[in-house]
Amino acid sequence: VDQIRDGFFSDGNPSEFSDLTDILLKWDRFFLLADYEDYVKCQERVSEVFMNKKKWAEMAIHNIASSGKFSSDRTICEYAKEIWGAEPTWEKLPSPHAKV
């Protein structure tokens, strides 16, 4: 952010991206930078583990095995029921290209 604010990416023009840096540093309602330091540390650990192919494969297999319960259809259905109170229907919707 300092490099952006100081004009490193804008040929020495510090005001070029001032809107962006102001949003990130003053009005970051999505907290994009709040956990950036932890993100960098995690990426460093990922890079380290990736170099150990056996460990990486082991972690990948565990991750895949643990994802069995996840289903996007089930998740969307639960969300629709719990948040919106919507129930599934068996209505067939026409193709967006069909003449109505």
User: How does pLDDT run along the chain (100 residues), one tens digit per residue?
Assistant: 999 999 999 998 999 999 999 999 998 888 889 898 999 999 999 999 999 999 999 999 998 888 777 778 888 899 999 999 999 888 888 888 877 6
Residue 95 lies in a domain: no
Residues recorded for the chain: 100
The model's pTM: 0.49
Host domain of residue 62 = 35-87
Residue 45 lies in a domain: yes
Q: Are 86 and 78 a contacting pair, CB within 8 Å?
A: no
Query: Pick from 25, 28, 34, 32: which is nearest to 4 by CA?
Result: 25
- Residue 26 and residue 47 share a domain: no
Same domain, 15 and 4: yes
Number of domains in the chain: 2
Neighbour count for residue 5 (Cβ, 10 Å): 19
